[in-house]
């Protein structure tokens, strides 16, 4: 990648990996996609390609505005509710909860549907971390990105899966909060 400073991306992705490991240590697998980034200079670097993934904006454009249609096309199960395999819905729900918590804790800004991706297996993940620690190019940004289409991908506001999403968010936040001193110490190492 040329023209972008990937140093922040590299740091955020290391935090995602660390948070994933801490959550897995307490048997809370949020199905996070931990890909790599390496800054080779102030305006260049290398980012790992994540196969079978598309931006949410593209998914909505090609699937009648529905993430559920995309998941159904790649994970069909006629016996399951909404015709989508339970494993794909569970992956989508857990990863959505995990990234909502992580982007909230790290103050990741500039969240839009072009830098939120979904893999064919249902895992949601974020890319492009140029704005972190509360910085955002837009005034009054939301603390994290959760759209109506994402909620509908879980079955809607009244679904059991959305209740699980909320529970996963609470659990992940509470477990990660216990490691706040670790995160603050690691962030303090970046201060010049």
Q: What is the pLDDT along the chain (192 residues), one digit of tens a residue?
A: 777 788 889 999 999 999 999 999 999 999 999 999 999 988 889 999 999 999 999 999 999 999 999 999 999 999 998 899 999 999 999 999 999 999 999 999 999 999 999 999 999 999 998 888 888 888 888 888 999 999 999 999 999 999 999 999 999 999 999 999 999 898 888 776
Q: What angle is formed at CA 31 by the lines to CA 108 and CA 155, rounded to 5 degrees?
A: 90
**Which ranges in 5-85 belong to alpha helices (H)?**
7-25, 56-62, 67-74
Say if CB 51 and CB 42 are below 8 A apart: no
Separation between Cα atoms, residue 77 and residue 81, nearest integer Å: 8
80 close to 86: Cβ distance less than 8 angstroms: yes
Give, in degrees to the nearest 5, the angle at Cα 127 between 20 and 188.
60
CB 168 within 8 A of CB 94: yes
C-alpha–C-alpha distance, residues 71 and 47, integer Å = 25
Q: What's the count of helices (H) and strands (E) in the chain, helices before strands?
A: 7, 5
End-to-end Cα separation, the chain, in angstroms: 25
Residue 57: how many other CB atoms lie within 10 Å: 14
Rounded CA-CA distance 144/128 in Å is 14
Whole-number pLDDT of residue 192? 62
- Which pLDDT score is estimated for 141? 80
Whether residue 30 contacts residue 95, with contact meaning beta carbons closer than 8 Å, is answered with yes
pLDDT at position 116 is 96
Tokens of 34: 């931990």
Give pLDDT, residue 188.
Answer: 86
């Amino acid at each position: 990648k040329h023209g972008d400073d990937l140093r922040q991306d590299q740091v955020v992705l290391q935090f995602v990996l660390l948070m994933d490991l801490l959550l897995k240590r307490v048997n809370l697998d949020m199905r996070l996609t931990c890909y790599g980034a390496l800054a080779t200079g102030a305006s260049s670097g290398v980012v790992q390609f994540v196969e079978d993934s598309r931006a949410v904006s593209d998914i909505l454009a090609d699937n009648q505005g529905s993430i559920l249609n995309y998941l159904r096309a790649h994970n069909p199960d006629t016996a399951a509710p909404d015709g989508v395999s339970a494993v794909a819905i569970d992956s989508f729900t857990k990863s959505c909860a995990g990234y909502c918590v992580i982007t909230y804790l790290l103050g990741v800004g500039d969240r839009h549907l072009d830098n939120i991706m979904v893999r064919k297996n249902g895992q949601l993940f974020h890319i492009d971390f140029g704005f972190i620690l509360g910085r955002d190019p837009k005034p009054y940004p939301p603390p994290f990105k959760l759209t109506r289409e994402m909620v509908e991908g879980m079955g809607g506001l009244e679904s059991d899966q959305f209740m699980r999403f909320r529970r996963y968010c609470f659990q992940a936040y509470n477990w990660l909060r216990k490691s706040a001193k670790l995160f603050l110490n690691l962030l303090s190492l970046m201060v010049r």
